[in-house]
């Protein structure tokens, strides 16, 4: 029997975590244990998550490939499928197709300083890289994590932010947009591009991973350029609408580049060479 590329794995919801208003993380385990054992992915890859009766939806895998036996996704409720995903309870069934697409250059990052920047829900794919680096901490030199959000309540992975803050070998910088702070906020107040310039990481022997809203990425790239980073050192993701994830349904392309197949991870240099239609 030939493989049917549209068939999802059946997953069981193991845990649900409310990250911020409207944002939830699901921890999913494979119902078929053999499939679970054979499953592997790389940080940055994505999948199609489905609620039966509602449809499929594309997110990155937000957990680290170093943590075996489960995957996690974090999503904001915006439409039909995410509303249904958010209403799931522990024990419910979810469909998953993946892993799809390329990944962040973890191999290339070995022996280098890594600067990992996540803005808003864009921290999800970066979180996969963060835990991947931290679980193999000796492979990397300085680990700087810069996390930004519109407001304190919208920060995702709050529990993990505290963990990273307490780790002596992680330099965590957290910031919220001006006006988004609370009286007891102990992080910075300012937009991520400004904060990146304040933190001023050195471009020497370094690689940057940055995910977030397009406008945030655009201006942070300018800040990184000012600090002397070349566009080849900076990796980000494109988050286009997808249906198949397999290079066929025809909607995620930017020019002749398919985000689902050639991406979702691109260097800033690659983005510059694409038609500006993303």
Instruction: State which of residues 110, 112, 150, 261 lies at the interface with another protein (CB under 8 A).
Output: 261
Residue 21 is a binding residue for another protein (CB under 8 A):
no
Instruction: State which of residues 32, 33, 35, 52 lies at the interface with another protein (CB under 8 A).
Output: 52
> Nearest distance from residue 246's CB to another protein, in Å?
4
Residue 256 is a binding residue for another protein (CB under 8 A):
yes
Taking contact as CB under 8 A, which single stretch among the options 21-29, 33-41, 146-154, 238-246 is the one that binds another protein? 238-246
Structure tokens at 267: 């260097």
Taking contact as CB under 8 A, which single stretch among the options 88-96, 140-148, 162-170, 171-179 is the one that binds another protein? 88-96
Instruction: State which of residues 6, 108, 158, 218 lies at the interface with another protein (CB under 8 A).
Output: 6
Instruction: State which of residues 17, 36, 54, 112 lies at the interface with another protein (CB under 8 A).
Output: 54
Give whichever of 5 and 200 is closer to another protein, judged by the CB atom. 5
What is the C-alpha separation between 203 and 83, in angstroms, rounded? Answer: 41
What is the C-alpha separation between 257 and 82, in angstroms, rounded? Answer: 27
Give whichever of 17 and 93 is closer to another protein, judged by the CB atom. 93
* 27 and 13 Cβ atoms separated by less than 8 Å: yes
> Nearest distance from residue 41's CB to another protein, in Å?
16
Please state whether the peptide bond connecting residue 264 to the residue before it is cis, i.e. omega within 30 degrees of 0: yes
Structure tokens at 125: 């794919």
Of 152, 202, 219, 254, residue with least CA distance to 210: 219
Interacting positions 65-84 with another protein (CB under 8 A): 76, 78-79, 82
Residue 10 is a binding residue for another protein (CB under 8 A):
yes
Residue 3 is a binding residue for another protein (CB under 8 A):
yes
Residue 158 is a binding residue for another protein (CB under 8 A):
no
Task: Give one DSSP letter per residue of 147-200, joined into a string.
Answer: EEESSGGG-S-HHHHHHHHH-TTEEEEEEE-TT---TT--SEES-HHHHHHHH-
**Burial of 93: CB neighbours in 10 Å, binned 0-12, 13-18, 19+:** middle
Residue 249 is a binding residue for another protein (CB under 8 A):
yes
Residue 109 is a binding residue for another protein (CB under 8 A):
no
> Nearest distance from residue 45's CB to another protein, in Å?
14
Residue 247 is a binding residue for another protein (CB under 8 A):
yes
What is the C-alpha separation between 71 and 82, in angstroms, rounded? Answer: 17
**Burial of 182: CB neighbours in 10 Å, binned 0-12, 13-18, 19+:** exposed
Give whichever of 82 and 113 is closer to another protein, judged by the CB atom. 82
What is the C-alpha separation between 25 and 22, in angstroms, rounded? Answer: 10
Q: Site residues (CB under 8 A) for another protein?
A: 1-8, 10, 50-57, 76, 78-79, 82, 91-93, 95, 214, 239-241, 243-244, 246-256, 261, 275, 277-278
């Amino acid at each position: 029997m030939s493989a049917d590329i549209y068939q999802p794995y059946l997953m069981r919801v193991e845990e649900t975590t409310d990250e911020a208003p409207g944002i939830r993380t699901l921890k999913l385990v494979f119902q078929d244990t053999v499939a679970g054992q054979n499953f592997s992915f790389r940080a940055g890859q994505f999948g199609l998550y489905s609620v039966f009766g509602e449809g499929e939806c594309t997110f990155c895998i937000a957990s680290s490939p170093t943590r075996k036996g489960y995957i996690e996704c974090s999503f904001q409720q915006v439409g039909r499928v995410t509303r249904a995903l958010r209403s799931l309870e522990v024990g419910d069934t979810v469909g998953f197709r993946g892993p799809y697409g390329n990944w962040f250059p973890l191999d290339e990052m070995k022996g280098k300083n890594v600067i990992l920047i996540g803005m808003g829900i864009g921290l999800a794919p970066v979180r996969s890289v963060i835990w991947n680096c931290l679980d193999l901490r000796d492979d990397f030199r300085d680990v700087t994590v810069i996390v930004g959000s519109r407001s304190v309540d919208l920060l995702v992975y709050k529990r993990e932010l505290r963990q990273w803050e307490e780790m002596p070998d992680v330099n965590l910088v957290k910031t919220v947009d001006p006006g988004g702070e609370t009286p007891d906020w102990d992080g910075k107040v300012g937009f991520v591009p400004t904060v990146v310039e304040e933190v001023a990481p050195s471009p020497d022997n370094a690689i940057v991973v940055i995910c977030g809203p397009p406008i945030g990425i655009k201006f942070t790239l300018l800040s990184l350029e000012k600090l002397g980073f070349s566009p080849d050192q900076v990796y980000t993701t494109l988050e286009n609408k997808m249906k198949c994830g397999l290079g066929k349904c025809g909607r995620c392309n930017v020019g002749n580049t398919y985000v689902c197949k050639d991406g979702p991870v691109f260097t800033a240099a690659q983005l510059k060479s694409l038609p500006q239609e993303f």
